[in-house]
Chains A and B, each alone.
Chain A
Amino acid sequence: MTILVIAEHNNDRVRTSTRNTIAAAKDIADKTGADIHVLVAGKDCAGAATGASQIEHVAKVLRADAPHYEHGLAENISNLVVANADAYSYIMAPGSTFGRNIMPRIAALLDVQQVSDILSVEGEKTFTRPIYGGQAIATVESTDEKTILTVRTTGFDAVAAEGGSAPVEDIDSQDDAKLSTFVSLEESKSERPELSSANIVVSGGRGVGSKDDFKLIEDLADKLGAAVGASRVAVDSGYVPNDYQVGQTGKVVAPNLYMAVGISGAIQHLAGMKDSKVIVAINKDEEAPIFQIADYGLVADLFDAVPELIEKL
Chain B
Amino acid sequence: MKILVPVKRAIDYKVKVHVKSDNSGVELSNVKMSMNPFDEIAVEEATKLKEAGKATEIVAVSIGPDKAQETIRTAMAIGADRGILVKTDAPTDLGGVEPLAVAKALKAIVEKEQPDLVIMGKQSIDDDSNQTGQMLAALLGWGQATFASKVDLEDGKAVVTREIDGGLETISVSTPAIITTDLRLNEPRYASLPNIMKAKKKPLEEMNPEDVGVEFSPRVKILSVKEPAKREAGVMVESVDELIDKLKNEAKVI
**Which residues of A line the B interface, CB within 8 A?**
71, 73-75, 78, 96-98, 100-109, 111-117, 126, 130-144, 177-188, 196, 200, 224, 232, 235-236, 241-243, 248-249, 251, 256-257, 267-268, 274, 277-280, 291-300, 305, 308-309, 312-313
User: Is there contact, CB below 8 Å, between B174 and A179?
Assistant: yes
Taking A292-B233, A293-B231 as given, write out 10 further A-B residue pairs in contact, using a Cβ cutoff of 8 Å, ordered by the A residue number: A78-B138, A97-B147, A138-B225, A139-B222, A185-B168, A188-B167, A243-B167, A243-B168, A267-B16, A296-B251
User: Is there contact, CB below 8 Å, between B165 and A134?
Assistant: no
Residues B41-65 near A (CB distance < 8 A): none
User: Is there contact, CB below 8 Å, between A104 and B131?
Assistant: yes
In order of increasing CB-CB distance, the 4 nearest A-B pairs are A179-B143, A104-B134, A108-B135, A104-B131
Kindly list chain B residues whose C-beta atoms are within 8 Å of the C-beta of A309.
240, 243-244
User: Is there contact, CB below 8 Å, between B225 and A98?
Assistant: no
B126 beta carbon closer than 8 Å to chain A: yes
User: Is there contact, CB below 8 Å, between A243 and B135?
Assistant: no
- Given the contacts A136-B228, A138-B222, A232-B183, A183 and B170 also touching, CB distance less than 8 Å: yes
User: In the bound complex, what is the Cα–Cα distance between A241 and B161 (angstroms)?
Assistant: 14
Among the listed A96, A139, A144, A297, which residue makes an inter-chain contact with B236, where contact means beta carbons less than 8 Å apart? A297
User: Is there contact, CB below 8 Å, between B184 and A74?
Assistant: no
Kindly list chain A residues whose C-beta atoms are within 8 Å of the C-beta of B143.
75, 177, 179-180
**Which residues of B line the A interface, CB within 8 A?**
11, 13, 16-17, 19, 26, 93-94, 98-101, 103, 123, 125-139, 142-147, 149, 159, 162-174, 177, 182-184, 218-228, 231, 233-241, 243-244, 246-247, 251, 253-254
- Given the contacts A114-B129, A278-B253, A308-B240, A143 and B165 also touching, CB distance less than 8 Å: no
Minimum CB distance partner of B146 in chain A: A101
Kindly list chain B residues whose C-beta atoms are within 8 Å of the C-beta of A257.
247, 251, 253-254
User: Is there contact, CB below 8 Å, between B142 and A179?
Assistant: yes
User: Is there contact, CB below 8 Å, between A141 and B169?
Assistant: no
